[in-house]
Structure 1
């Protein structure tokens, strides 16, 4: 099953996340099938390719709760 989830990168105490599509059995920082955006919790900036998200959800991918909140926030802004 595919998941749309966060992949952590950045320095210690300065997290930044990529929003990725990955098999649910793979580790958090494993090789992604596709990168569809990023989220920086320190500056509260996010960018997501919503077309790709919708396509992946239609194919059966499930977003995590955190990613779903980020998607909902971006859809409200647009």
Structure 2
């Protein structure tokens, strides 16, 4: 099954997350199919969440599941201008 989830990157105590589409049989930090965005929780001055909605909708139509964290991030940042449409 294909899932859309976060991959943690960055340094210790400075997290940076990539939003990726991957197969759930692979490890969380392993192979992925496509990067579709990022989430940077500590960046207050600039954009800290960006996702390609075209690719997100494409993968959802093809049967991909969204993780709970991505679902909540989409609810929070839905009305802001830092999401690619």
Aligned-residue RMSD, C-alpha:
1.3
TM superposition score normalised by structure 1: 0.91
Residue 22 of structure 2 aligns to a residue in which SS? Answer: strand
Structure 1, residues 3-54: CA drift from partner, whole Å, max 9, x if none?
A: 0000111011111000000001111111210000000111261000011001
- State the number of aligned residues: 78
Structure 2 unaligned regions, length at least 5? none
Structure 1 unaligned regions, length at least 5? none
Pick the structure with more helix per residue.
1
Pick the structure with more strand per residue.
1
Map residues 17-28 of structure 1 onto 2, 5 A cutoff: 17-28=17-28
Q: Which residue of 2 aligns with 1:48?
A: 51
